[in-house]
Structure 1
Amino acid sequence: MVAVVLGVLLLQLGFITSYVAAFHQPTPRDIPIGVIADAGLPAGVDQQVTDKLNAIDGRPLQARVLANTYEARNLIADREIMGAYLISPTGTDTLITASGAGTSAATALEAIFTKADAAQHRTFVVRDEVPVSVHDNRGLSGFYLAIGWVVGGYLLAASIGLMIGAPRTLREAGVHTAIMAGYAAASGFLGALITTHLLGTFTGHLLPLSLLGFGVVFATGIFTMGLRAAVGILAVPLAILIFVVLGNPSAGGAFGSNVLPTFWATIGRWITPGAGTEGVRSIVYFHGTGVLQPVATLTLYAVVGLALVLGFTARAARPTRPVAPQVPATATATATATA
């Protein structure tokens, strides 16, 4: 009982520490943008502005010179930059953002250029090149959809582990895996159906979101099942540590990777909540551009989880070789003397 209480306390403190540390002071860092000089400006103005932006304390921006707005739109669509700044000879510039890639980065860009332009006695207007849906407040719907899929995956795996236990034979392992795959297909489709048709948040993306949902649920669930086969009941707190304590705050929901502290920004894309969140954004707002990295993350979890399930099940099911009884030395000596 003492061990259980201490374990829960550690998870609780880890939850508090992880969330507060990730969200207490979001700071823009290396947000990639392009700088464009409009016609009628002297040559080299764009490079001068780029150098000034890159020299801002804390390096919130990673600016580079672009030829025109056409190039900027293409790079935004390809997810190579998150915005662009068009310098105008009139003194009223244009800040091009892409809130579909993350509202926190778009908001940070507005704050940075508000301060920078005030120092130069200039003004700017904002043009959102990839706006979030009117039903996707602050772009958080994809995050909550991904979290719902993740929770379903590890809850089913934990429930199977607690009520049935780890599989004892490869046949049972196959049954458990099939149950998880069927559940992942159903929950992935239903989650996508709710957001695309029932709520109208992501209209027109039912099939790709269903496939993504299957990947998120199955990867999370089979990895948790693999932990159950490997370490037993400790799999439940380990799954909570990975997917909730570390995965949720680093997923890029409320704050994207360009405003999160380095640790959370680094691990977010390699945990299933972050993979799911980024996958939804890629599908809904960028026609699938950038979805390969989330797919790679989900594939990694699924492969490792399957390997753990099958490997530890095969090890547990391996028959033990009977040990031949040993004849005491005194009995051998007596038998020899009798003979």
Structure 2
Amino acid sequence: MVTDTAHRHTHAVPVHEPPAAIRATGIIAVLTVAIALVAIAFALPAARTAPHAVPIGAAGPQSASGEVAATLQKQAPGAFTITYYPGEEALRDAIRNRDVYGGIAFGPDGPRLLTATGGSPMVAQMLTQMANGIAAKTGVPLATEDLAPPTVQDPRGAGLAASALPITLAGLLPAVALVLALKREVWTRFTAVVIFAGVAGVSIAALLRYVLGSIDANFWGVAGGLSLGILAAGLTMLGLGSLFGRFGLALGAVAALLIGNPLSGLTSAPEMLPTGWGQLGQWLPQGANATLLRSTAFFDGAGGALPIVVLTCWSLLGIALVVTAALTIERRGAR
């Protein structure tokens, strides 16, 4: 009798699932929405790429500079913000310090267009086209000079732009793998992320220098900046995963891939993205890392102070989340 009762209790309770057709429809609907979100995140910034208050400069007689400003405003309203400088040297300093992307200097030898392709190839090309148009209308020859030229091996800066997604993944994937593989070893995961950030920063810099030929100066500055950017993204991801588990990892991954990466501005410039979105991207690890990369690669670190502050804050946030997760695990273990 006891055996029969025990035998009866071992039968599994039937689970009522929706019909297969309904489940398949649900999967298709979820995937459709997911693909649409990915397409919007990556395609919309590219489709809406246009200048929005791009800072440029003008130097020389106020009348000539004012004429340029009026022409640009007529051709592309709201596309540029022009700062006036007393002379060509002041404009050059502003470009080298990344205060402006380029500008036109008027002097006794005629107008000279000063660009900085390393700051943004897209903006430099756009300025060249507009300056040539102005020169054609006025009939005055225009000299050009690139103060931050690209490398001979990568004249269009394609390698640097293409590195945006790999850099994002370098800050994302190690944290995901470590959280899933090491369930409770919080400090082992932390140490691994820190070491990986340094190794990855040097590795990506080496690829940019020796394989792609996208940089040819300040190798260790580039490597250090990349390491800080990867560390900031990695520690934030690790903190979210350590504290909130799979939900935290999913949240961090979505934010990094669908928001941070498209809004980084590395493929164009923050001012070329839709108004407000480019500025938002600069406060995220991916955008700050992109700006720091261009600063270290072409401007000897100029313009990199704010990105360093942003990345440091994200790193500290990640550390705080990791510490909170470690304390939570210890309290659970004590119980």
**Which of residues 29, 32, 45 in structure 1 aligns to 2:52?**
29
Q: TM-score, structure 1 length as denominator?
A: 0.81
Match of 1:330 in 2: none
Contact map agreement 1:147 1:273 (CA 8 A) in 2? no
CA displacement 1:238-288 (0-9 Å, x = unmatched): 222221111222112222112211133112212222222211211121111
**Which of residues 65, 89, 96 in structure 2 aligns to 1:77?**
96
Corresponding letter in the other structure for 1:245: L
Return the alpha-carbon distance in structure 2 between the equivalents of residues 207 and 154 of structure 1.
23
CA displacement 1:189-242 (0-9 Å, x = unmatched): 222223234554323423222222221222111111111123221233322222
TM alignment of 1:224-303, pairs within 5 A:
224-303=237-316
Query: Does residue 215 in structure 1 map to residue 235 in structure 2?
Result: no
Aligned length: 312
Query: Does residue 60 in structure 1 map to residue 79 in structure 2?
Result: yes
Return the alpha-carbon distance in structure 2 between the equivalents of residues 122 and 210 of structure 1.
44
Alpha carbons of 1:206 and 1:36: their partners in 2 closer, same or farther (altered >3 Å)?
closer
Alpha carbons of 1:13 and 1:240: their partners in 2 closer, same or farther (altered >3 Å)?
farther
Return the alpha-carbon distance in structure 2 between the equivalents of residues 98 and 319 of structure 1.
56
Match of 1:12 in 2: 35
Match of 1:202 in 2: 215
CA displacement 1:88-141 (0-9 Å, x = unmatched): 678x63221111110111122123334444554555343222211122342243
Q: Percent identity?
A: 21
Q: CA deviation at 1:55?
A: 5.7
TM alignment of 1:310-321, pairs within 5 A:
310-319=323-332
Alpha carbons of 1:159 and 1:288: their partners in 2 closer, same or farther (altered >3 Å)?
same
Greater Rg over alpha carbons, structure? 1
Q: TM-score, structure 2 length as denominator?
A: 0.82
Secondary structure of the 2:37 match is: helix
Secondary structure of the 2:81 match is: strand
Contact map agreement 2:57 2:102 (CA 8 A) in 1? yes
Match of 1:126 in 2: 144
Query: Does residue 110 in structure 1 map to residue 146 in structure 2?
Result: no
Return the alpha-carbon distance in structure 2 between the equivalents of residues 193 and 48 of structure 1.
46
Match of 1:153 in 2: 171
State the superposition RMSD in angstroms: 2.8
Return the alpha-carbon distance in structure 2 between the equivalents of residues 214 and 152 of structure 1.
10
Corresponding letter in the other structure for 1:311: T
Specify every segment of 5 or more residues in structure 2 that has no aligned partner in the other structure, as ranges: 1-22
Return the alpha-carbon distance in structure 1 between the equivalents of residues 220 and 334 of structure 2.
51
Specify every segment of 5 or more residues in structure 1 that has no aligned partner in the other structure, as ranges: 323-339
Corresponding letter in the other structure for 1:103: P
Secondary structure of the 1:224 match is: helix
